[in-house]
């Protein structure tokens, strides 16, 4: 049995040194080591990318802020603050994040950041200046003018402030004071702002524009025109300069300074670009001035009204109605009743202001009556009466309708209207006497 057992093959024994001397083994070992090192480097780099320093996040946020990518900047600044940076950096991040929030009109969040800067022991004077200037801008936009003026006052106390920034703050301050009806103080603020000669035409235009309005409110119309002329040559598209010229023109017209009022309307028409709505508004007011001045120029007034009504662009209904109304009145004054009736009818169709409608209907009734169209005249007067007018306006409508009834020999209706007219409240004693005299005439005729 033992002799039949085959001997096993001998097992070779190699040392570790002999094993690693083989080239293929060396290559495989080096490849594995390189892979391990690469993995370690990538893992470390990933951790650095996932957990950047506050300084790196602040730097990236600054790039986004300067590129006006405010939402991205806000995220980066938040991540930087989450990593507890040192106080100086933390304060600066709050300043910049507040500016971002202000730019996207998230004012509550901006104010919170400004408060954090103010409360930080590490803030600088320049950072505090930005806080007050930012608050002034926010409060003025929110129409909290008292707080805006207070913020401006705090900011303007700083000595190291460049002239452009100071002019902008004085503009906000002046606007806030103007809105609170402190017109003299507003003018002082605007004067100081203009004295700094701001290079930004937008800022200068607003200063001149608002100061002109403050002069008007402060009963100094003689000082308005010069500033407005300068503003209109700078940048008309920034503000509605034509509307200010119209306002100033009306002030001059009320003061009886017709030539200055006319100059305002001419300047308004010279503004470029001038939308047709503004053009119609200017022509309407100039027409009214030419109709109402001491020596009326009905022909020029009518030309202005017709030009305004012929503009292609649709104007506001109330303005369109006023244009047709004034045009109709001028036609009636020139005894051109047919065209006058057409214009007054268009005035009613253009949806006039409710307070104007009774007067338009009375004018239309008078035109119909003059044209001997008594039926339409009665309709117009009745519509005016049914609008619920009171006092002398109601008495006038009843008086005129009574005259139409009298012309038709409907004495009882004429007498009833006259009696109702006398029941109205009067301030014009002469009109009441006229009505009493008319009542006596009716009694004799009936």
Average pLDDT over residues 377-400: 92
Question: pLDDT at residue 88 above 90?
Answer: yes
Beta-carbon-side half-sphere exposure of residue 315 (alpha carbons within 13 Å): 26
pLDDT attached to residue 333: 84
Question: pLDDT at residue 4 above 60?
Answer: no
Q: What is the 3-state secondary structure (H, E, C) of the chain?
A: CCCCCCCCCCCCCCCHHHHHCCHHHHHHHHHHHHHHHHHHHHHHHHHHHHCCCHHHHHHHHHHHHHCCCHHHHHHHHHHHHHCCCCHHHHHHHHHHHHHHHHHCCCHHHHHHHHHHHHHCCCCCHHHHHHHHHHHHHHHHHCCCHHHHHHHHHHHCCCCCCCHHHHHHHHHHHHHHHHHCCCHHHHHHHHHHHHHCCCCCHHHHHHHHHHHHHHHHHCCCHHHHHHHHHHHHHHCCCCCCHHHHHHHHHHHHHHCCCHHHHHHHHHHHHHCCCCCHHHHHHHHHHHHHHHHHCCCCCHHHHHHHHHHHHCCCCCCCHHHHHHHHHHHHHHHHHCCCHHHHHHHHHHHHHCCCCCCCHHHHHHHHHHHHHHCCCHHHHHHHHHHHHCCCCCHHHHHHHHHHHHHHHHHCCCHHHHHHHHHHHHCCCCCCHHHHHHHHHHHHHHHHHC
Between 87-91, 144-148, 316-320, the lowest mean confidence (pLDDT) is in: 316-320
pLDDT attached to residue 2: 45
Report CA dihedral (300, 304, 306, 310) to the nearest 10 degrees: 150
What's this model's pTM, rounded to 2 decimal places?
0.57
Confidence of residue 233 (pLDDT cuts 50, 70, 90): low
98-to-54, 66, 71, 134, 347 alpha-carbon distances in Å? 18, 14, 12, 8, 53
Closest alpha carbon to 359 in 334, 379, 331, 389: 389
pLDDT attached to residue 232: 66
Average pLDDT over residues 212-235: 76
Mean pLDDT over all residues of the chain?
A: 84
pLDDT attached to residue 236: 47
pLDDT attached to residue 90: 94
Average pLDDT over residues 359-369: 93
């Amino acid at each position: 049995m033992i002799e039949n057992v085959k001997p096993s093959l001998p097992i070779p024994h190699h040392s570790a040194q002999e094993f690693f001397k083989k080239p293929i083994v060396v290559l495989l070992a080096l490849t594995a080591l390189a892979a391990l090192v690469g993995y370690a480097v990538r893992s470390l780099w990933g951790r650095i990318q996932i957990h950047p320093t506050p300084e790196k996040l602040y730097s990236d946020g600054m790039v986004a802020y300067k590129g006006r990518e405010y939402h991205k900047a806000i995220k980066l600044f938040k991540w930087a603050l989450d990593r507890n940076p040192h106080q100086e950096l933390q304060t600066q991040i709050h300043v910049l994040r507040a500016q971002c929030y202000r730019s996207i009109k998230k004012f509550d969040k901006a104010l919170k950041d400004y408060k954090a800067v103010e409360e930080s022991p590490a803030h600088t004077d320049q950072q505090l200046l930005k806080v007050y200037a930012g608050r002034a801008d926010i409060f003025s936009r929110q129409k909290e003018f008292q707080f805006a003026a207070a913020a401006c006052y705090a900011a303007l106390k700083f000595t190291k402030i460049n002239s452009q920034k100071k002019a902008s703050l004085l503009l906000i301050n002046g606007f806030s004071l103007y809105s609170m009806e402190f017109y003299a103080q507003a003018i002082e603020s605007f004067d100081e702002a203009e004295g700094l000669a701001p290079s930004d035409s937008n800022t200068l235009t607003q200063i001149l524009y608002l100061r002109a309005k403050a002069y008007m409110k402060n009963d100094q119309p003689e000082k308005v025109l010069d500033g407005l002329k300068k503003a209109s040559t700078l940048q008309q598209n920034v503000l509605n300069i034509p509307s200010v010229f119209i306002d100033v023109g009306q002030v001059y017209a009320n003061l009886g300074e017709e030539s200055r009022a006319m100059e305002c309307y001419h300047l308004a028409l010279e503004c470029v670009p001038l939308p047709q709505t503004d053009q119609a508004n200017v022509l309407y007011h100039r027409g009214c001035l030419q109709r109402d001045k001491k020596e009326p120029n009905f022909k020029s007034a009518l030309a202005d009204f017709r030009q305004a009504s012929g503009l292609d662009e649709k104007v506001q209904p109330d303005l369109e109605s006023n244009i047709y109304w004034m045009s109709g009145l001028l036609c009636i004054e020139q005894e051109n009743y047919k065209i006058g009736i057409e214009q007054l009818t268009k005035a009613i169709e253009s949806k006039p202001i409710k307070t104007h409608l009774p007067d338009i209907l009375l004018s239309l009734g008078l035109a119909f009556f003059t044209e001997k169209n008594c039926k339409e005249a009665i309709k117009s007067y009745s519509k005016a009466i049914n609008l619920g007018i009171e006092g002398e306006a109601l008495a006038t409508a009843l008086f005129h309708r009574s005259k139409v009834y009298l012309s038709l020999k409907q004495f009882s209706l004429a007498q009833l209207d006259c009696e109702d007219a006398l029941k109205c409240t009067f301030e014009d004693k002469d009109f009441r006497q006229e009505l009493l005299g008319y009542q006596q005439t009716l009694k004799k005729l009936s």
